[in-house]
């Protein structure tokens, strides 16, 4: 394989690797955001089910 062709192949491979890394980083960020949102929902659900919610609501109603 001629040197020019090797260089073009190496450049194309490097660009491909960068694109794959960007896609994976984007997917990780989306997965983290989804997990954080799910955790918030679970915490909110747990709070509303708990006695803390009733106690907090009673305090607000007293004001």
13 pLDDT above the threshold of 60: yes
Locate 63 and state its tokens: 């004001």
Distance CA 19, CA 14 (A): 9
Do the beta carbons of residue 47 and residue 53 sit within 8 Å?
Answer: yes
What pLDDT does 45 receive?
A: 86
What pLDDT does 52 receive?
A: 66
pLDDT, average across residues 33-61: 80
The whole-chain average pLDDT of the chain stands at 88
pLDDT, average across residues 19-46: 96
pLDDT, average across residues 44-53: 78
47 pLDDT above the threshold of 70: yes
Distance CA 15, CA 23 (A): 12
Distance CA 55, CA 53 (A): 5
């Amino acid at each position: 394989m001629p040197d020019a062709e090797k260089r073009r192949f190496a450049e194309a491979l490097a660009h491909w690797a960068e694109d794959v890394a960007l896609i994976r980083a984007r997917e990780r960020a989306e997965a983290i955001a989804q997990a954080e949102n799910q955790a918030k929902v679970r915490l909110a659900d747990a709070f509303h089910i708990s006695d803390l919610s009733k106690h907090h609501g009673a305090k607000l109603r007293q004001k």
